A and B are shown apart, each in its own frame.
Chain A
């Protein structure tokens, strides 16, 4: 069945692909790009790894990664964010959770960059009370909301469970997060539900964005969903029945020397 088959680019389809893009190379518009991509594509086909046996959870490598360190969080913020992200997207039989996937590094890096400082958002005052359907209207930058929100998670945990968030049991952590989601928390003026939604969305992004951003370690997030990442062409596969499986590729595979 097509469902279980690993679809490898056949020689014929590759020739076909080169033929199609070749037209563009000869044309006015896309030579530089497609030229490079053809090289990357050929190399990746060779390096294609053996498919994981079906049913087994994709493994995450434990090698030391010197690219992994903090840009924005302090140690406690990192631990809190990591613990919360793991509850939002927990490890289970299907595969790794947010923690193993490096989602907390992703969140840290996002907070350190232009997303964390709302560089491309309209942050000009006056900030006024808004109707719910008028969207985000707070003066908080995401960085500030994140730092205050993580503090609030710990403070709420201390008040209600006499320990830091990262030290609570899974059930307790879920209860804390549910209280934030329901906006039942009022600490230091932190809008709890807004913070929770941001944390939830960042966690999902950290699980499924290209590994270049620090999460989705070894593409294990994608593997759980049978998502093939960055592929050059589905021209020969688009009409096929069932789920066509590929060994995923990330944008790293796109670099040419």
Chain B
């Protein structure tokens, strides 16, 4: 029998960016919050010896321990899903701060087009433009409605960027609170080349602080040192915006947040209409507890959010055969793979220096910023040159045709270690009927509960997008004065082994219609008014951008919604 704990007002599952933002807002407003985190506690002090590529980048020190829980994967319904036994296409967050500790900090608001993608596509190209099986959908919110919440996240995190924006992105009511990051010679080559081609490059907006910054909550943080150990690592300076150095200290200071680490939530307890609280396992002892709460917030990332709902039998599971139900629907990813490498025989770069979000980027081929009439795909990608800091185990660039070991490998990988620049596209990912999440029938976690199962593959849409965008990356790279360039323009079957991106989205999507969405535009569940399911699980598709700006904005909106709900109750829309 689970031990019953004293009731609180709000229970939040997961203490990453989403959980942290909501905890800070609700505790500042005076509500009592318990935050559950299955992993350990973390602070900047833990990163004293963080400049260790093997430990953090290759052995995944900060990520979820797969021996306890993983994801199973198949690329279509005809084959048996098997567990991702080792990392991995994506790296799951674990412990205080979640993936917000080891992210890059590349910050992009999604485009106005994204939130109304279906209606805008139909309006411009007609309904026939949407291929069979693509479950494209508007988000039930507009860019303008979400705009003030982007501002809140930016002010809190101290996002650094250019003072003005290009015509390709949504308008900002307030500029970024700190100026752009420094510009490296490689970034300058990219910007000059792109400008020469009539494109519109700008400084990548960054959550690695360009300058010392004090945020509206009074949190002071130091500027980024461009140390080159950023993504997959924690920041020893607190320069990278991370929940542990921004929102969580603010929430804790109110005295109204209690964080319970090593507490794995397995279930939302409910009566079919409302939740009464959450059930969780104290990981070290295996003991079970029940935490009663007025409001339950899932902030445990795409996979856990979906899985906890399915394990709790809350919301209607998606069935791809009948296309009914919503939990697990519209799982999307990021379509990478279009890129061009520029090799310089006569020039070297200090590419070992860098920061997670240091780069130059353009949106000329993102969203609907270009005409798709004669193209066999929708949406697009951003194209960027980043300088995130190349590290020597991973950085062994060689021209095509070089063996992967031996004399020639050694000579070439050393020769080109500081002589290669990459221009790469980060592509959007459209939803399809047969891409979804459900519970695996065979494989279980350490507690004996079914793992989440992913059914996903790249479609013709994605392959066409990669081909088109790759040619654009090559055109830019060819203008960058390299000795030679090599383009990569083909995308094959989705493979779970090589790292691609931790931008998983969907599963508990938002929308205006309960038949095709699980949560409303406050991320409040249609089927249980006191349950909010937050994070990229709410995305109806994924854009040609990193997700966290939009995740963060939605978290601020949820916090506002929960406050309203606690005051009045009922559906917020």
Contacts and interface: CB of A to CB of B under 8 A. Distances in A.
A128 B82 contact: yes
Contacts of A20: 212, 222-223, 225
Contact of B352 (A124, A128, A136, A228): A228
A66 interface: no
Contacts of A36: 48
Contact of A92 (B58, B60, B245, B407): B407
A177 B227 contact: no
B283 interface: no
19 contacts: A23-B220, A24-B238, A27-B238, A28-B245, A29-B249, A30-B44, A30-B245, A36-B48, A94-B411, A97-B410, A120-B59, A120-B65, A130-B82, A133-B493, A221-B392, A231-B227, A234-B225, A239-B185, A243-B348
B66 A122 contact: yes
Contacts of B70: 122
B493 A28 contact: no
B443 interface: yes
Query: Looking at A32, A33, A128, A132, which has the most chain B CB atoms within 10 Å of its CB?
Result: A33
Interface in B387-410: 391-393, 396, 404-407, 409-410
Given A24-B220, A237-B350, A134 B82 contact: yes
Interface stretch (A69-77, A143-151, A156-164, A205-213): A205-213
Given A20-B222, A94-B410, 4 more contacts: A29-B219, A33-B45, A120-B60, A122-B85
A157 B48 CA distance: 46
B85 A121 contact: yes
A50 interface: no
A135 B85 contact: yes
A60 interface: no
B571 interface: no
Interface stretch (B131-139, B317-325, B494-502, B538-546): B494-502
What are the nearest 10 A-B pairs in CB distance? A27-B220, A24-B222, A243-B348, A233-B225, A133-B495, A230-B51, A208-B392, A209-B54, A234-B353, A29-B238
Contacts of A137: 82, 85
A155 to B, nearest CB: 21
Contacts of A17: 225
A24 B44 CA distance: 11
A235 B226 contact: yes
B220 A28 contact: yes
Contacts of B84: 122, 135
Query: Looking at A90, A115, A203, A222, which has the most chain B CB atoms within 10 Å of its CB?
Result: A90
Interface string B442-454: 1110000000000
A34 interface: yes
Nearest to B350: A244
Contacts of A228: 352
A238 B184 contact: yes
A92 B183 contact: no
Interface residues of B, number: 80
Contact of B444 (A37, A124, A209, A238): A124
B417 to A, nearest CB: 4
A23 B85 contact: no
B220 A26 contact: yes
A135 B219 CA distance: 43
Contacts of A52: none
Given A27-B220, A124-B444, A225-B418, A210 B52 contact: yes
Given A92-B410, A241-B185, A28 B353 contact: no
Contacts of A227: 352, 391-392, 417
Contacts of B392: 208, 221-222, 225, 227
Contacts of A231: 51, 227
Contacts of B391: 227
A126 B442 CA distance: 8
Interface in B214-258: 219-228, 236-239, 245, 249
B239 to A, nearest CB: 8
B237 A209 contact: no
Contact of B405 (A28, A200, A240): A200
Interface stretch (B73-81, B195-203, B374-382): B73-81
Nearest to A215: B54
Contact of B225 (A92, A131, A212, A235): A235
A68 interface: no
Contacts of B88: 135
B173 interface: no
A210 B83 contact: no
Contacts of B224: 235
A131 B79 contact: yes
A29 B44 contact: yes
A251 B414 contact: no
Given A26-B220, A205-B54, A239-B183, A94 B414 contact: yes
Contacts of A118: 67, 86
Interface string B32-76: 000000000001110111011110001110000111011001110
A233 B389 CA distance: 12
Contact of B350 (A21, A90, A242): A242
A119 interface: yes
B370 interface: no
B238 A205 contact: no
A121 B406 contact: no
B443 A124 contact: yes
A232 interface: yes
A135 B496 contact: yes
A134 B223 contact: no
A212 B350 CA distance: 24
Contacts of B443: 122, 124
B124 interface: no
A150 to B, nearest CB: 17
Nearest to B46: A33
Given A200-B405, A205-B54, A29 B221 contact: yes
A45 interface: no
B349 interface: yes
A8 interface: no
Contacts of B86: 118, 121-122, 135-136
Contacts of A131: 75, 79
A208 B225 contact: no
A221 B335 CA distance: 35
Nearest to B183: A239
